Amino acid sequence: MTKNKLIQKLPYKTPFLFVEELLEINENGAKGTYTFSKNLDFYKGHFKDNPVTPGVILTECCAQIGLVCLGIYLLENDGSATTENIQIGMSSSTMEFLLPVYPEEKVTVTSKKLYFRFHKLKCAVKMYNSQGKLVCKGEIAGMIKSGANG
């Protein structure tokens, strides 16, 4: 499966799609990018005169690139399941936020698979800004399976 086709299989669309490009993906992890447009609605109120990307959105971006893209890739390569009608549920996240992300910033997310068993995927994720500085890091876990399994 190509990287573009994998992005098309994500169960999100604008304005809640936080994956622009997948740079790398294999059985051990993923790497992708996203640029936070200044026109995103949450910037209107977070914060009034100094808009900053909310931590929950940074976590979502890490989850979409580092966990969901990887999960779809793993299901597809497993061969025992279809990646149609993907069902996803985040089960846990632990994130540490180190730097703010402002409107129009491009970030790069990397993930490393910690385990994938019984439809549960857990990854270590890191997000970097365009200067290569670590923005946030943590671990995210979720359940992922195809509609054909469930």
125 sits in which H/E element: strand 120-128
Per 3-state DSSP, the chain is made up of helix, strand and coil in percentages (nearest 5) of 25, 40, 35
Which of 17, 20, 35, 46 is the catalytic position?
A: 46
Beta bridge partners of 10: none
Distance in angstroms between the alpha carbons of the first and the last residue of the chain: 23
CB 80 within 8 A of CB 139: no
Q: 46 an active-site residue?
A: yes
Which residue numbers are catalytic? Answer: 46
